[in-house]
Structure 1
């Protein structure tokens, strides 16, 4: 308990947030770096995974590929991948550029499976009768994708992005092992100095950031849910719960 209180005192100490603080401070600089690494990786992963996931979900092609790819990539050790990419790009790029490129690629690879699965499952969740009705009304495949499937499957698509963002936020802490910044730099500095206030304070910052981002995406998912579908599902659940149970058969 004393350790937690000491870490909280360090965390809320204004001097640790002031400009000009010694490395690995100030905290806001490390926080901005952490968000920047996360945003870059998530945007690049979204540009790759979302179009591919929408194509697979719309056409139904490559389902087995998605299942196998997402399962295998989630088992990939990110720290090992990071060090491997650092060694590879270290031969071709400068000492300052190689860590950033290697870390970004590692985080992109980490974020792709969740986004791909979210986009695919989001479009797969749309009722086939709704799609057939849209096709019967003369809508083109592109119109069906953009005006029917994506809006109806948007909560699940955002759910995939949400999972990817949280994974990247948690994993960006290892960027400090590549000589980069972020909140992980506070933790690694604490480990090197045997300073438990830095270690626990950095961990609390990463946890708080993940919880805030997760809450924002949860609200976004709720806001993008189609009202008619959510109301009908809720009504169906209420009807099922109120339906009388069959009486046990009594033998004569």
Structure 2
């Protein structure tokens, strides 16, 4: 069955894992901000958003892995064409290289198995690639499939076209890696800064409970802590959106 990379369905173990994570987080926050585990019930509506956020993270990670493996495949195809193979045979040769590089059960190898089956059934390689580009949702795949189809129709030089595409991909990879290095430090800082306020409250509760006891078990204190929790959550979302900008 062909995979649609724009959709990610969580496995049962993943659902259980994220449910456990959120429950523990809700209990911890309830204890810190309200000194009561029962208040965690009020945080239950956030469970759906938490699990959906994790699902989107996994979806993005899978697309990034597919894009990386696709670039490896194109480089292998370019090597085959430079060695004198036809386009179709270059893809067949590239499959063996991808098995060695990524494993037979990798995303790209599973896709290439489908490529080869469809080619043997009489479908053109450009149609196969265009279908893959729609399912992948990966910009590099879409660009390559469109360029490949245009070159096929116009009778262009495939070897030169693929070689040029590989060069562009490599340049883009280098740029993305440089940006990723710069952002990785900021992301680490964001994670540290995100937990510091929680540990400050925990320290005060455990070490100097008298300082913040007035904020618990009364309407005024509950309102203040709820406002603090809201400000903290909004600040965390904004910081994460800035630090985790997609490259």
Query: What TM-score does the superposition give when structure 2 sets the normalisation length?
Result: 0.30
Query: What TM-score does the superposition give when structure 1 sets the normalisation length?
Result: 0.30
